[in-house]
A and B are shown apart, each in its own frame.
Chain A
């Protein structure tokens, strides 16, 4: 009897996961593998009409990617976003989480919802709004800065400031998400730890350093890695706000991939770019996990 029941569960289990696996296999895994294969060819617009003009290139696309100064500039821009934007976003999320979770706060739910609101908004829509906020003459930001005596900045037109402008917007858009995760993390810290520290004579700041932060370490790791992975894929903001300019200051690797692949139809090259990005993201994850894991 048990054998029959087990066999039935086995069949049902496979039947239930089959549609999902089929879809994921067909529309995710297969394209990823095909992408890897594409990256070894020079499949381009000529090849779409006449496949016989596609050549097997081995690692040539990868060599070209790595020797293309534009790639390195895009990688640099992406790194700037990851290294500056990531910690800034995480920090803002932590501060917001701490503020909202403080015991004395009234209407914490309201503040939580307000801080979270930018996360659900459509990126393209708010990118357009922020483009106007950043306008050198008519934008709110320069007007507000002018009120405290700072000269107007051409946020999106100056190659020195454009990426910072995008970082600021990205932090605003996303800090609410990690805030929630930090809130969950904070709520899961047992009260007795704080009581014990208080009994040991620890004040507010010491409690924070010795109870809160260590308890949040796994949350930090999770938030850090997820934010980093997301930041590496920066695309929509530069596409809508600056088209990768000015002077390629906001061109990211994904934007470059989009241009190579869907604007110039150099698909072999675009596929190689995507895989290079994947490798970099993977290495970044490993590095971050190693660094943060060791902090304990």
Chain B
């Protein structure tokens, strides 16, 4: 999430007038700058540094410069894992958008006194740890679980079906966990949406479809873009949900990196994979930002 922070700073655009910040401004900024340096700049620099290092037999990092980790990273095995992870994250983002937009629109257009309560309902599941909620899904989806019980009892299926430990379960787990990250940014956009604009569209002869596609979507696009990034990026690297609900038979890139730092005893290789992932994120952010500036 921290990766999204720089956007508003850079997005002020040419219209904003410039002047030299004074001492007070620097003092106000100082905590943020220190935080950025300590928890983002330094760790990232260390990650990149380790990615060019070697390791000894116990897994300790030895600082001899090498490109081997990157040469290994471009093996088909890891690329396939990465493509799978990107595909799961893409599916998750699309489904979250399809489900999240109507929900966010409904909440944003609801009477003011209802909005707080509706938003609270979106957030209620977050009051318990996501690990506990993921374990709950395991119970719900298992062969002897509630869903299978209902399906068999109602006669839809004769035999229980396999739901858990499949790609379906992985995407379900990701969607369930990241949906609020989509709803909240879209909600803020919808809340600011001027109703007069939509009325104007209707007055000028637009049908509901056209009003939606040419007025509502463009006006809420900042929220949609922010939501997509907030869902897509953590989904790629998430390993706890994919391991628990996917059963580990469809490893994701986050899981592979995690393994390199533990049982693989190969921190430099894990760091190289992590750095590559970081490069992908930076490129994705840069592309969306450029897109926004063009608009």
Bound pair (A, B): no
